[in-house]
Amino acid sequence: MERVPVLKIGDFLLVSIQIDMEDQTALQLQEDLAEKIVVTGCHGVIIDISALDIVDSFVGRTLATIASVSRVLDAETVVVGMRPAVAITLVELGLSLPGIRTALNVELAIEMLARTRTEAEMLLGDDDEDEADQAAVTTP
Amino acid sequence: MERVPVLKIGDFLLVSIQIDMEDQTALQLQEDLAEKIVVTGCHGVIIDISALDIVDSFVGRTLATIASVSRVLDAETVVVGMRPAVAITLVELGLSLPGIRTALNVELAIEMLARTRTEAEMLLGDDDEDEADQAAVTTP
């Protein structure tokens, strides 16, 4: 069975899906991701699908499940790199990936996640001003 | 033909190899990487091979070529995520990946690349002190 690697980069986990998603691969990825979120304490998951020609309902469901599991573990999921043709097909099929946030590329996803985090901290009235200032710099 | 995506993260390009390397895939990856180095001006290439069970002489040669091409374009290449079994097999086969730098994971590779960059700047007597200071913080 092939396994999709989960890479830790700073406060984020990055997954680049390149192989065809089968039942076992999808389940394994969900497990690996959930475990890695808990072990690393990361708050963001970025899933790159730029290698995928086709996103069918199974892949769509898998992405939605990953996003839900991550949310329960206090991590946001962003899907990046969707090809224009994939987006068109998805909508034509009636799959609009509800509950999944998207960004055009990894860097924009990191910005988006950092912004969400800062807003959450501001709502909580976080005392750690340095951290808030630092995060604010990255969000123009 | 399958294509390995090249992701830009800050000053680095990240490639996660998950599919079997065939002639065409390897050539395409070399081309994509070279083009992306030139377009983005990135100074580091990180190649994750944690998904690979086997690294044979063809993959070894491909990695060496990528590293050489990147060097000519002023970018350092670091291979990360090699499995212990892969390392043992490589050495047994007499392939020790000459000219290729390795790190255990993506974060250590980023640190390594940042350190090399800082040293290069210091040798050049770079006036931009802020930048040097900032980079020095990340290298304990």
A130 is a domain residue: no
A126 is a domain residue: no
Q: Residue A8: is its pLDDT beyond 50? A: yes
pLDDT tens-place string over residues B17-60: 998 888 899 999 999 999 999 999 999 999 999 999 988 888 98
pLDDT tens-place string over residues A38-96: 999 999 999 999 999 988 888 988 999 999 999 999 999 999 999 999 999 888 888 88
pLDDT at B139: 46
Mean pLDDT of B113-140: 66
User: Residue B121 corresponds to which tokens in the numbers above?
Assistant: 């700047």
Which residues 58-117 of A are in CB contact (within 8 Å) with B?
81, 105-107, 110
Beta-carbon contacts of B83 under 8 Å, excluding residues fewer than 6 positions away, are B50, B52, B53
B97 is a domain residue: yes
Which percentage of chain B shows pLDDT scores above 70?
89
Rounded distance, CA B27 to CA B24, Å? Answer: 5
| Strand A44-48 relative to strand A12-16, pairing | parallel
How confident is residue B127, by pLDDT bands cut at 50, 70 and 90?
low
3-state secondary structure chain B: CCCCCEEEECCEEEEECCCCCCHHHHHHHHHHHHHHHHHHCCCEEEEECCCCCCCCHHHHHHHHHHHHHHHHCCCEEEEECCCHHHHHHHHHCCCCCCCCEEECCHHHHHHHHHHHHHHHHHHCCCCCHHHHHHHHHCCC
Number of domains in chain B: 1
Measure CB to CB from residue B8 to each of A8, A16, A105 and give the nearest one.
Answer: A105
B96 is a domain residue: yes
Chain B interface includes A18 (CB < 8 A): yes
pLDDT at A4: 92
User: Residue A86 corresponds to which tokens in the numbers above?
Assistant: 């994939």
pLDDT tens-place string over residues B62-76: 999 999 999 999 999
**What's the one-letter identity of residue A138?**
T
Q: Calculate the CA dihedral of residues A13, B34, B111, B102 and round it to 10 degrees.
A: 90
- pLDDT averaged over every residue in chain B: 86
Domain holding A85, by residue range, is 6-104
| Mutation target vs B (from A4, A7, A105; most B CBs, 10 A cutoff) | A7
Chain B interface includes A10 (CB < 8 A): yes
B109 is a domain residue: no
- Model ipTM? 0.77
Q: A96-102: long-range contacts (C-beta < 8 A, 24 or more apart)?
A: A97/A60, A97/A63, A97/A64, A98/A64, A99/A64, A99/A67, A99/A68, A100/A63, A100/A64, A100/A67, A101/A67, A101/A76, A101/A77, A102/A78
pLDDT tens-place string over residues B102-111: 999 999 999 9
B47 is a domain residue: yes
Q: What sign does the dihedral B73-B47-B90-A19 (CA atoms) show? A: negative
Q: Decide: A57 and A93 in contact? Cβ < 8 Å.
A: yes
CATH of the domain at A69: 3.30.750.24
